[in-house]
Amino acid sequence: MIVPIKYENEQLLIIDQTRLPLETVWLTLETKESVWEAIRLLQVRGAPAIGVAAGFGAYISVRDSKAEDSATFLSELKDVCEYLNSSRPTAVNLSWALKRMLAVGEANKDKSPAEIKAILREEAIAIRAEDEASCKSLGEYGLSLLKPGMGLLTHCNAGALATARYGTALSPMILGQERGYNFKVFADETRPLLQGARLTAWELFHAGVDVTLICDNMASIVMKNGWVDAVLVGCDRMAANGDGANKIGTSGVAILAKEYGIPFYMFVPSSTIDLNTPTGKDIPIEQRDSSEITSLWYKKDMAPIGVKTYNPAFDVTDAKYITAVVTEKGIAYPPYTESLPALLAK
Ligand code: MRU
C-alpha cells in the first residue's frame, strides 16, 4: 500500500509524484522553501496530502528556531504558515492544516518554545493519522453505494498518493478489490498534467484492479455504451452549498453523468469542506503556466509559440450534479446546505 509522505528519523520524505509512474524517487524536505516548492510543483499533490505535508512542513520549518520566548517563536510560526499557505490556492486542506498548526501553537503560548515544538510535532503526526483513518472510513461508506461488477469512472487522482493512505474516491475501489467486487474502472487521463494516466492508472493497475485508461474526451462514449454505473471523484474544496471544486474537467464529467442518468459521487473528507466559503463562485481557482498545455509532454511545441492559453487547474461542479457527498462521518444528500453542517457536527 502506497504511503506518499513519511516522517522517519525526524526527516520529512515525500514521493516525487512528478516522476511517476516510471520512477519512484523519494525527496527529503528540510526547509520551508523546499516544502513550498514541492507543493507548488505538484511533487506532493492532492488536497489531503497537501494538508499532511503542510502540517509536517510547518513543524520542520520552526523546529530549529533559536527563539527564546514563546511570543517570538509563535510569530515565526505564523510567518511560516502564511508563507506555506501561498503555495497553492484551491485545496482548502492547505490552509486548514496550517490554521490548525498555528492554533495549537497559540493555545500553548504559556509553554516554552521547546515544549511548543514537541506539541507541533505531535499535531502534524495527528493530522496524518486522522487522514488515514478518514480515508479508510470513506472506503467503507463508498463501497456501501456500490455493487459487485459495476463499471466506475474517475477523474484525476484521488488515490493513496493524494492522501496519507488509501485515498478518497479510490479507497472503495481498492477495498472492493480486496473483497472480490471486480469493478471495471475507467480512468480519465486528466489533461493537462495527466494525474489520471500517470497516478490513478498506476495505483489501480498495481492493486490488481481492472482499470482502463481513456482520454478525457472519451468519457461520453463509455457512458453511452453503458459501461459506467457510477462516477467517483475527489474534491479540493467543497463550499457550504455543496458546490465542489476538483481537478479541471470534473464538472464536465458530472454534467455528462446527469445526462446519462449515472450517479455522481464526490468523496470529501471533512477537512475539505469549507463552510466559510458560501458557494463555488467564492472558491479561488488556481491558474497555471501555459507551458503545461503547449509543450510539457511533447518533444516539440504543439501550439503556435506565443499563443494565448487559459489553464485553470480546477473547476467547480455545481451541487445540483452531485448525487451524494461521501465523508468519513457518513453520506450527505441534497440539500447540502442542511446535510453538510449536520454531518460535520457529528
Ligand atoms: O492539482 P492536483 O493534482 O493537486 O489536483 C488534485 C485533485 O483535483 C484531486 O482530485 C483532489 O485533490 C482530491 S484528492 C483526494
**Nearest Cα residue to 81 out of 56, 60, 98:** 98
Count the helices and strands in the chain (H runs, E runs): 12, 14
Separation between Cα atoms, residue 337 and residue 1, nearest integer Å: 36
Tens-digit pLDDT profile for residues 215-227: 999 999 999 999 9
Separation between Cα atoms, residue 241 and residue 325, nearest integer Å: 12
Does the model's pTM come out above 0.95? yes
In angstroms, the first-to-last Cα distance of the chain is 30
Does residue 72 carry a pLDDT above 90?
Answer: yes
Percent of the chain with pLDDT over 90: 99
Query: Torsions phi, psi of 325, nearest 5?
Result: -110, 120
DSSP state of 261: T
Does residue 200 carry a pLDDT above 90?
Answer: yes
CB count, 10 Å around CB of 342? 11
d(CA 299, ligand 1 centre) in Å: 27
What was the pLDDT predicted at 102?
98
- Ligand 1 contacts CB of residue 237 (under 6 A): no
- Ligand 1 contacts CB of residue 89 (under 6 A): no
- Ligand 1 contacts CB of residue 163 (under 6 A): yes
Q: 154 near 169, Cβ under 8 Å? A: yes
Separation between Cα atoms, residue 287 and residue 271, nearest integer Å: 23
- Pocket of ligand 1, candidates 15, 156, 168: which has the most ligand atoms within 8 Å of its Cβ, to mutate? 156
Among the residues of the chain, which ranges form H helices? 32-40, 47-62, 70-85, 92-107, 113-143, 171-178, 195, 201-206, 219-224, 250-260, 291-294, 336-344
236 is catalytic: yes
Span 171-175, mean pLDDT?
Answer: 98
Nearest ligand 1 atom to alpha carbon 169: 15
What's the per-residue H, E or C state across 24-42? CCEEEECCHHHHHHHHHCC
Does residue 71 carry a pLDDT above 90?
Answer: yes
d(CA 159, ligand 1 centre) in Å: 9
d(CA 10, ligand 1 centre) in Å: 27
Candidates 16, 69, 131, 236; catalytic one? 236
**Nearest Cα residue to 151 out of 32, 231, 84, 206:** 231
Separation between Cα atoms, residue 129 and residue 127, nearest integer Å: 6
Tens-digit pLDDT profile for residues 281-322: 999 999 999 999 999 988 899 999 999 999 999 999 999 999
Tens-digit pLDDT profile for residues 11-37: 999 999 999 999 999 999 999 999 999
Separation between Cα atoms, residue 343 and residue 332, nearest integer Å: 7
